Chains A and B, each alone.
Chain A
Amino acid sequence: MNIERQEIEKLATLARIAIDDSTISEVSQRLSSVLDLVDQLQAVDTEGVEAMSHPMQATQRLREDEVTEINQREAFQAIAPETEDGLFLVPKVIE
């Protein structure tokens, strides 16, 4: 199996990972070899088998609607790359 260059670029955009032009073929080759490995799944007959998302047959526990968190903005923003007036700054968001 071979992943096309275009497909790698699409995945990289979706995953927000910049891939150097010079490494695309290497990335493609490695991903392809992994996909060859996982492609073994295609041969398995799973007709009627339930999909398993969780290892345990448990159900979601619900939390009471009570405020348990205090304001820790200072602690959280002390480790942030860039803040101003309590806001996290990022390059301009264009909608």
Chain B
Amino acid sequence: MSWDTVIGLEIHVQLATKTKIFSGASTAYGAEPNTQACAIDLAMPGTLPVLNKQAVNYAIMFGLAVDAEIGQVSAFERKNYFYPDSPKGYQTTQLERPIVGRGNVEIQLADGSTKNVRIHHAHLEEDAGKSLHEGNFNSNFSGIDLNRAGTPLIEIVSEPDMCNAEEAVAFARKIHGIVTSLGICDGEMSQGSMRFDVNVSVKPSGSETLGIRTETKNLNSYKFMEEAIKREVERQIDVIEDGGTIAQETRLYNGDTKVARSMRSKEEANDYRYFPCPDLLPVVVSDEEVAELRRNLPELPDARQARFVEQYSLSDYDAAILSSDAAMAKYFEAVTSACNNAKLAANWTMGELSARLNNEDLSIANSPVSAAQLGGLVTRIADNSISGKMAKEVFDGIWAGEGSADEIIEARGLKQVSDSGALEQMVADVLTANQAMVDDYINTDEAKRKKKLGGFMGKIMQASKGQANPQQVNQILAQKLNELL
């Protein structure tokens, strides 16, 4: 039996405001525990929330970017639950009247096709603090750090429009590209700036009836998301094919073990008792304010993609990848302007650089290789100073902090020898020193001689310490051996 997969995403995006959603405490990442948790964030008695204007503006900007209805009147609810990282005992969030209504996002797939994913809504809410389980304290305790408590979030809820992990990742990347292009989120997934909850269900192929879905929480990278979806789909199919039924439940993914486990115990007791937050009034946004935000929207991934195709003659797919992420787009354009070769700049940005960043879980903003440095490297590839193989070595050197491409080429003596006089002398010396090989070559059938060339090439490259331009050597060698026949 074949199965269809149905996937919906809930994406928590931390907004890049200077202060919390309801207090004037800083949201800067990495501060000492609880030094950015003020009386409001700590839910001290008698404290009250006042809404951050920038958080509202950022949410509206997201809505405009996905062509959504903007709630002219939105409102906050309290979602009640006890947890040490939720100091008020409730989360202030939006339920009935979210600030962003229905919208649409177009995603690009690897086969070049596109697909529309509908946004159900996006709402403003506050982030929770963090519970630390290990530290300089008794192991029967957890330590609570409330610096993150009250950081503004938008939760973006998609319709269940995706049908495999690839689409889900493409959607997540697209949202990442949009929020980073808007500048409303720093996009640093390793710092939790974007977190994904994935709703997955399966149904017999072609069936109209949706299966029972599970929600897998706590995914903070594309890799984890992809793995979690694939595993959950397999698990659900196994359960159903074994005659079981899927329990509607929340599952928690552990990135270390790559296993998600049920949080059923928690789910059963949940009754969030949402009700309108009496400390906050309805948020009213005027048409003028929305128009003003619309006028000032920065370039979005779709527009940037079109521009990259036009301006740099990139393929649609390359342009889509490079424009999907604001930081990557900015990086690519900086490399291009440094080397004046968009095609090579695109290849290196999407290829070697992205692969390395991905392997080491780094964002492009934290790349050890700067755009200027990569531009320098691409310049030397383009002018034939170094071979592709050398270029990888130079790239490693830049990554390791050894300096610019030119400095590394110089220091390691990697510059390719393309001076034909020098190369001719080098070839002649090798032939003289290896008379037996030359004789063997001459005595070999013409049809098989070509195979013997590799041996000479090896010797020459060895003699040149790999710096000889291989195409030129090839030419000179063929010519010199011919003369001996």
A67 and B33: CB pair below 8 A? no
Which of A25-33, A36-44, A87-95 is found at the contact surface with chain B?
A: A87-95
The yes or no answer to B17 lying at the interface (CB within 8 A) is: yes
**Interface assignment of B82: CB less than 8 Å from any CB of chain A:** yes
State which of B171-179, B270-278, B427-435 sits at the interface with chain A: B270-278
A-B contacts besides A54-B282, A60-B281, A95-B131, 13 pairs, CB < 8 Å: A14-B271, A54-B281, A59-B282, A63-B51, A66-B24, A69-B26, A73-B34, A84-B135, A86-B34, A88-B84, A89-B144, A90-B141, A90-B142
List of B residues within 8 angstroms of A85 by Cβ: 33, 135-137, 143
Indicate if B252 sits at the interface (CB-CB under 8 A): yes
Chain A binding surface SS class: loop
> Quick check: is A68 within 8 A (CB to CB) of the other chain?
yes
Contacting residues, chain B, for A84 (C-beta < 8 A) = 135-137, 141, 143
Any chain A CB within 8 A of the CB of B269?
yes
Interface flag for A47 (CB, 8 Å): no
Chain B contact residues, CB within 8 Å of chain A? 17-19, 23-26, 32-39, 42, 44, 50-56, 75, 80, 82-85, 131-133, 135-146, 252, 263, 269, 271, 273, 276, 278, 280-284
- In the assembled complex, the Cα of A13 lies from the Cα of B34 at a distance in Å of 29
- Is A50 part of the binding interface, using a Cβ–Cβ cutoff of 8 Å? no
Q: Is the CB of A60 within 8 A of B51?
A: yes
Nearest B residue (CB) for A77 = B34
* B53 and A93 contacting across the interface, CB-CB below 8 Å: no
A90 near B52: Cβ-Cβ < 8 Å: no
Give A63-77 interface residues, CB cut-off 8 Å to B: 63-69, 71-73, 76-77
The 8 Å CB contact of B50, one of A61, A73, A95, is A61
Closest to A56 in B: B281
In Å, the complex CA distance between A88 and B54 comes to 30
- A22 in contact (CB, < 8 A): no
Most buried by A among B23, B44, B276, B281: B281
21 examples of A-B residue contacts, CB within 8 angstroms: A60-B282, A60-B283, A62-B56, A64-B53, A66-B18, A67-B25, A68-B19, A69-B25, A72-B39, A73-B32, A76-B37, A84-B135, A84-B137, A84-B141, A86-B32, A86-B35, A87-B34, A89-B141, A90-B141, A91-B141, A93-B85
